């Protein structure tokens, strides 16, 4: 199964980095056949037999910790796939495919009514799945666990509540602050090949290993790990805004460094992967926000950036540059949001999903609730549903429970940063010197190496000595943005 998934990953990467378009149809057949075979293996009688034999107390005692964890993972997947009646799952896959293509058109036309019946079906299916899978405290927990094992509504309500009560006023103060940063110089022409060369320098500084990876062009950037010796990054370039490639690549680089440093012992097992979406995102956001949006990082690298660009930064000081790249402004589109307002976009989606699966919100109410929450949290309101409730693909793909990972990753990253500072108090100094290796080593020792051997909250507690604590993110944002906007 790992081998087949490895082959599938190469084909996925290839499709998104220049595979000839006329070959896509037959490629889809190939992918369909291999994915089907993996699914069959994961739910086969042979698998059931292995699982029952290897799950006895006697077996557990004689097996290595890796094998025990591996059995646990396979059992989880077996249950997840086996508990849904095959016919029902097939229907669901068909609806999913339809929903994604309808969503594309609906978003373009800003026509929620068009998408509504499909979204209703997807929600209904997922409600039934929750019944099949079961739940403890809250139905939505079951969906959260797909992406973030151990995460609950109880935890999220608490942390999101505290985060919201701190960020919403901060966002408001900033929008009213007089001293907005100058940003014009960000938008000068910066040739793609020069951006790429600069980006490669930064990736090397971060500790991304080019002998175990490569950087390619794509439309929607991603990182993909085939195995720790082959973790690829893709990015895209905007010659009128270098930030897309530079910060985007640093973000994907964080994901990639995670997978490059999973223990070699786990290669060839399903444990050789990130432990959850949230922990994965914590690594990308650590590098993107805590490293590359830090002033110390640019004390070294603005000089380098000046070498690669065509004069646009020549008269720009590190402080001006730092303020410019940290400009915060409420915006409608999640993927364009800055690091301060971003969590608010996630909370809105979380509250809606939680309401949907606890029968407190109906699909038809979504546009109205969406717009109301945007106004309340961000102070702006979408003109139409295309830039509102229809903007993300996740729901069209049936991925409910996924969004919170983005914000969780951010909270994890802030908490890890705090813990790291105790062991690496010279953190800012390291950034100024471009010596990022101790940072990567700390992350590898505390996060990367474990792969799926530890659950997300287990990693967090072991690394930081406590459970999820949102205060670190709140402190970071308060301190940073009060300073940038000189709030009293």
Quote the CA–CA distance of 360 and 34 in Å, as a whole number: 40
When binding is defined by CB under 8 A, the residue of 169, 268, 465, 467 that contacts its own copies is: 268
- What 3-state DSSP class applies to 43? coil
Q: How far is the CB of 230 from its own copies (least distance, A)?
A: 3
Of the pair 18, 467, the CB lying nearest its own copies is at 18
List the interface residues with its own copies, window 357-416 (CB under 8 A): none
Q: Select the residue interacting with its own copies from 85, 134, 161, 229 (CB under 8 A).
A: 229
- Of residues 88 through 127, those in contact with its own copies by CB under 8 A are none
- What residues have CB less than 8 Å from 311, skipping those under 6 apart? 188
335-362: b (≥16 Cβ within 10 Å) or e: eebbbbbbbbbbbbbbbbbbbbbeeebe
CB of 26 to its own copies, least distance (A): 4
Is residue 38 part of the contact set for its own copies (CB under 8 A)?
A: no
Contacting range for its own copies; rule: CB under 8 A; set: 16-24, 168-176, 423-431, 477-485: 16-24
Number of residues that bind its own copies (CB under 8 A): 37
CA distances from 244 to 183, 313, 470 (A): 15, 17, 28
Active site residues: 252
Burial (Cβ within 10 Å: 0-12, 13-18, ≥19) of residue 429: exposed
Rounded to whole angstroms, how far apart are CA atoms 349 and 342?
A: 12
When binding is defined by CB under 8 A, the residue of 16, 29, 261, 355 that contacts its own copies is 29
Of these, 214, 240, 462, 483, which contacts its own copies (CB under 8 A)? 214
Question: Judged by CB under 8 A, which of 123, 174, 213, 450 binds its own copies?
Answer: 213
Q: Is 138 helix (H, G, I), strand (E, B) or coil?
A: coil
- Do 323 and 293 meet the contact criterion of CB atoms below 8 Å apart? no
Rank residues 187 and 210 by Cβ distance to its own copies and give the closer one.
210
At closest approach, how far in Å is the CB of 35 from its own copies?
10
Return the number of other C-beta atoms located less than 10 Å from residue 258's C-beta.
Answer: 31
Comparing CA positions, the residue from 370, 361, 385 lying closest to residue 123 is 361
Quick one: CA torsion of 402, 399, 77, 226, rounded to 10 degrees? Answer: -80
**Closest CB to its own copies among residues 25, 315:** 25
What is the closest distance, in whole angstroms, from the C-beta atom of residue 10 to its own copies in the complex? 5
E strand or H helix at 230: strand 230-235
Distances (CA, A) of 412 to 256, 445, 455, 461, 468: 17, 16, 13, 10, 7
251 is in an annotated binding site: yes
Q: Is the dihedral of CA 195, 196, 200, 206 positive or negative?
A: positive
Query: Is residue 267 within the footprint of its own copies (CB under 8 A)?
Result: yes
| Range in contact with its own copies (rule: CB under 8 A) among 10-18, 63-71, 316-324, 345-353 | 10-18
Q: Which is nearer to its own copies, 125 or 208 (CB)?
A: 208
In this chain, which of 230, 259, 351, 385 binds its own copies, going by CB under 8 A? 230
- Rule CB under 8 A: say whether 444 interacts with its own copies: no
Question: What is the CB neighbour count within 10 angstroms for residue 417?
Answer: 23
Q: How far is the CB of 220 from its own copies (least distance, A)?
A: 20
User: Which phi and psi angles does 82 have, rounded to 5°?
Assistant: -85, -25
The Cβ-side half-sphere exposure at 198, using a 13 Å CA radius, reads 25
Distance CA 384, CA 345 (A): 16
255 is in an annotated binding site: yes
Nearest approach, Cβ of residue 198 and its own copies (Å): 20
Q: Measured from the CB atom, is 53 or 214 closer to its own copies?
A: 214
CB burial of residue 175 (10 Å; 0-12, 13-18, 19+):
middle
Q: Which of 11, 110, 168, 177 binds its own copies (CB under 8 A)?
A: 11
Is residue 197 a contact residue for its own copies (CB under 8 A)?
A: no
- As measured in angstroms, the least distance from the Cβ of 20 to its own copies is 5
Q: Which stretch binds its own copies (CB under 8 A): 18-26, 112-120, 301-309, 325-333?
A: 18-26
16, 34, 181, 222: residue in contact with its own copies (rule CB under 8 A): 34
- Using CB under 8 A, which of 43, 209, 218, 263 touches its own copies? 209
User: Does the protein bind its own copies through residue 19 (CB under 8 A)?
Assistant: yes
Distance, CA of 330 to CA of 382 (rounded, Å): 12
Are 481 and 340 spatial neighbours (Cβ–Cβ below 8 Å)? yes
Identified binder of its own copies from the candidate list 145, 232, 293, 480, rule CB under 8 A: 232
Q: Is 196 in the site for its own copies (CB under 8 A)?
A: no
CB of 132 to its own copies, least distance (A): 30
| 41 contacts its own copies (rule: CB under 8 A) | no
Q: Do 144 and 104 contact (CB within 8 A), yes or no?
A: no
| 394 in a labelled binding site | no
Residues near its own copies (CB under 8 A): 3-4, 6-8, 10-11, 14, 18-27, 29-30, 33-34, 209-214, 226-232, 267-268
Binding residues for Zn(2+): 251, 255, 281
């Amino acid at each position: 199964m790992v081998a087949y998934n490895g082959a599938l990953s190469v084909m996925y990467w290839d499709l998104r980095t220049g595979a000839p378009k006329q070959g896509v149809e037959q490629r889809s057949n190939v992918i369909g056949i291999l994915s089907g075979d993996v699914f069959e293996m994961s739910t086969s009688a042979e698998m059931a037999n292995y699982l029952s034999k290897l799950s006895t107390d006697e077996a557990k005692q004689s097996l290595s910790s890796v094998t025990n964890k591996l059995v646990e993972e396979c059992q989880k997947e077996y249950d997840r796939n086996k508990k849904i009646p095959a016919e029902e799952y097939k229907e669901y896959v068909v609806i999913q495919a339809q929903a994604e293509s309808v969503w594309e058109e609906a978003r373009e036309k800003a026509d929620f009514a068009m998408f509504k019946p499909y979204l209703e079906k997807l929600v209904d299916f997922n409600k039934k799945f929750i019944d099949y899978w079961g739940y403890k405290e809250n139905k939505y927990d079951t969906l959260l666990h797909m992406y973030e094992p151990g995460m609950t509504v109880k935890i999220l309500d608490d942390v999101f509540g505290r985060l919201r009560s701190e960020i919403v006023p901060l966002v408001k103060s900033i929008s009213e602050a007089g001293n907005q940063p100058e940003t014009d110089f960000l938008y000068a022409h910066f040739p793609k090949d020069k951006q790429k060369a600069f980006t490669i320098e930064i990736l090397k500084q971060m500790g991304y290993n080019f002998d175990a990876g490569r950087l390619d062009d794509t439309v929607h950037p991603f990182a993909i790990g085939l195995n720790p010796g082959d973790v690829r990054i893709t990015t895209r370039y905007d010659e009128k805004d270098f930030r897309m490639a530079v910060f985007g690549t640093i973000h994907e680089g964080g994901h990639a460094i995670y997978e490059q440093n999973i223990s070699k012992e786990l290669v060839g097992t399903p444990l050789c992967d990130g432990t959850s979406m949230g922990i994965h995102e914590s690594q990308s956001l650590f590098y993107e926000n805590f490293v590359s949006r830090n002033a110390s990082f640019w004390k070294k690298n603005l000089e380098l950036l000046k070498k690669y660009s065509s004069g646009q930064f020549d008269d720009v000081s590190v402080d001006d540059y730092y303020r410019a790249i940290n400009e915060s402004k409420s915006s409608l589109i999640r993927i364009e949001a800055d690091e301060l307002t971003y969590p608010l976009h996630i909370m809105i989606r979380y509250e809606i999903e939680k309401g949907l699966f606890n029968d407190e919100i109906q699909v038809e109410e979504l546009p109205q609730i969406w717009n109301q929450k945007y106004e309340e949290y961000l102070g702006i309101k979408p003109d139409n549903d295309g830039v509102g409730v229809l903007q993300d693909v996740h729901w069209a793909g049936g991925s409910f429970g996924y969004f919170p990972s983005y914000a969780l990753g951010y909270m994890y990253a802030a908490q890890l940063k705090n813990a790291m500072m105790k062991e690496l108090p010279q953190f800012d100094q390291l950034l100024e010197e471009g010596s990022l290796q101790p940072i990567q080593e700390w992350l590898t020792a505390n996060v990367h190496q474990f792969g799926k051997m530890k659950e997300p909250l287990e990693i967090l507690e072991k690394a930081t000595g406590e459970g999820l604590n949102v205060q670190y993110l709140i402190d970071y944002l308060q301190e940073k943005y009060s300073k940038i906007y000189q709030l009293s």
